[in-house]
Structure 1
Amino acid sequence: MRRSFAVRAGALLAGVLLSGAFTVLAASTAPAAYAADGDKGFTIEDPRITESSGLAASRQHPGVYWTHNDSDDGPYLYAVDSATGKTVARLTLTGVGTPRDVEAISIGPDNEIWVGDIGDNLGGTWQYVWIYRLPEPAKLVDQTVKATQYVVKYSDGARDAESLLVHPKTGRVYIIDKKEDGGHLYEGPANLSASGANIFKPVAAVDLWATDAAFSPDGAQLAVRGYFGGISYAWNGGKIKREGRLDVPLQRQGESVSYSADGTKIMYGSEGSGSSVVAEDAPEGAGSGAKSPSGKGSSSASGEGDGSSATGSVKFGALAVAAVCVAVFGLRRLLRRN
């Protein structure tokens, strides 16, 4: 009964909103086309990647982005060539248990890949989650790589999270929990232990329902995204300071974010087969010595916003479509739990 009611409610809400939203959008804007040429954006072509939930730019292999599927795909990571959208290597992780809800990926110092098995489809009731660390291969071919597994607990109780960050200079690991009314940045121990639980503690509030986050290559800025907006923070030694809103594109289920390797772009990914990764200019000063020629970031401190300069009619249509996405996403999560 619960499932059938959810199906009817989701379908009704989606139908009502779609009838008006797409009419407005069709009259006011055309679909954006993102060419498959690297940091201008690309489309993930691999049919095995149906729920891309994390994104991280390789520093060792220019133009390559690492991603993975959500939930129970298995211990796999995919290296995607942004020039073609094609997978150039799939890694199979060993030395770890069976992944439960893999949500995030980050590149740390010394070209190490960090994977966050930190989602909690039970609504924040798992007593612990996992993080995996592995060396990024020097040669991109399908291969098996041994990873180190870390147990993570939170000082203030279990919670759901989809954002894992590793500072590119210090190597310290951070997590942002996922809460509709805003969450917190959690800091891990200076050195993680593979033999016991690692306690992560809240150190700063985050004004967003966060689905992913990423450090700039120089570690000076932090980009946090949600489904329909994003915020840029100055890292400020971990005492984060809000700088402005990010130009987050409207996507069917906005899940991932990464700076480009040179820091001039912020790349936004979404779930779904054949999903697009959209490039937007990063705020100025985000790169490793490079600056975006037209970096953006509103100084407004109120609300999440959509960060766009579109007309009012486009914003209205976008918000309506966003509401549809919320309904569909909520239905999807409900059905998964049941």
Structure 2
Amino acid sequence: MLKKLIIFLILATAIALFALANRPPKEFVLQTDVLNEASGIDFGILNKEVLFSHNDSGNKAEIYALTIDGKILSTLILKGTKNRDWEDIAVAKDPQNDISYIYIADIGDNNAKYNTVYVYRLKEPQLTGKNEILQISAVDTIEISYEDGPRDAEAIFLEPKTGDIYIISKREEQVGLYRVPYPFNFKDKNNARRIASLPLSWVTAADLSNNGKLLLVKTYTGIYRYKIMLDDKNIIILSKEAKTMPYITETQGEAVCWDAKNKGYFTLSEAATGINQTLYYYK
């Protein structure tokens, strides 16, 4: 299985490099140093042309709003919330009340030792564009346990029609896709059930298009696009084959998201000594 996975990754990388030669991405050097350990990114809904991002384990419980060319717009401070190991972010509307929420996935677990992980939810604020600092005290906590025991994960997305949370694990030779059904229980644990496996490993991020049809899955070495549909129980089904997307290998790339029109996608890596921290846009 490991040999097949290595061959797959080599072929996928070759295809992506060929695509890059024909259409290189736009590059925007970040105009801020607050995202040195960037670990997630997603496009706003209320805030057009705004990206939300954050750092991973042990950093401040803060979300940073960026322009699409890498300038800092706002800082959202989540009061009373801890960044144990924030690994991904998603912005999605609640299917019942149509409110746009930001979801922060505190799901990192390198040693698979935590019995529960957390997803924090807050209303997406309407930003003024004046480099404001917002104190956010209204934060919902979604506590989650996996049906098959603790595991490390860095990728989350929400299905727009159902509101379900999906998590992709990180380290297995074939990673697991887990579903947390909507509506969420904010007083007790929510169960994450494994519904599928993907022929990938070291998954670091994911994002579903806002029409619910195309899923990007990012690893350290590549980006893959799956077509999505819902079965008769409104649970997602992934296409058997994934399309390999153009990608420049980053120092430690752990963030990917679609643009507002699902025509292109952004990636962002952690900072590295001597290298400009760059926001890439592929179209």
Q: Under a length normalisation based on structure 2, what TM-score does the superposition of the two structures give? A: 0.81
In the other structure, the counterpart of 2:227 is 234
Moved over 4 A (4+): none
In the other structure, the counterpart of 2:118 is 130
Once the two structures are TM-superposed, the CA of residue 75 in structure 1 deviates from its matched residue by: 1.0
Distance 1:95 1:167, change over 3 A: farther
Residue identity in the other structure for 1:89: S
Contact 2:56 2:83 in 1 (8 A): no
Alignment of 1:1-338 (within 5 A): 40-83=26-69, 85-96=70-81, 98-109=82-93, 110-121=99-110, 123-140=111-128, 141-145=132-136, 146-209=138-201, 210-237=203-230, 238-241=236-239, 242-272=241-271, 274-281=276-283
SS of equivalent to 2:58: helix
Deviations 1:297-326 (A, max 9, x none): xxxxxxxxxxxxxxxxxxxxxxxxxxxxxx
CA distance in 2, matches of 1:243, 1:130: 29
Contact 1:173 1:187 in 2 (8 A): yes
CA distance in 2, matches of 1:176, 1:129: 13
Give the structure with the larger helix fraction: 1
In the other structure, the counterpart of 2:15 is none
Higher CA-based Rg: 1
Gaps of 5+ in 1: 1-28, 35-39, 282-338
Contact 1:107 1:168 in 2 (8 A): no
Q: Under a length normalisation based on structure 1, what TM-score does the superposition of the two structures give? A: 0.68
Distance 1:177 1:239, change over 3 A: same
Contact 1:223 1:233 in 2 (8 A): yes
Percentage of pairs with the same residue: 30
**More deviation in 40-49 or 221-230?**
40-49
Distance 1:190 1:33, change over 3 A: closer
SS of equivalent to 1:115: strand
Once the two structures are TM-superposed, the CA of residue 180 in structure 1 deviates from its matched residue by: 4.5
Deviations 1:215-269 (A, max 9, x none): 0121111110101112211111111113421222211111111000111101111
Once the two structures are TM-superposed, the CA of residue 94 in structure 1 deviates from its matched residue by: 2.3
Residue identity in the other structure for 2:79: T
Gaps of 5+ in 2: 1-19, 94-98, 231-235
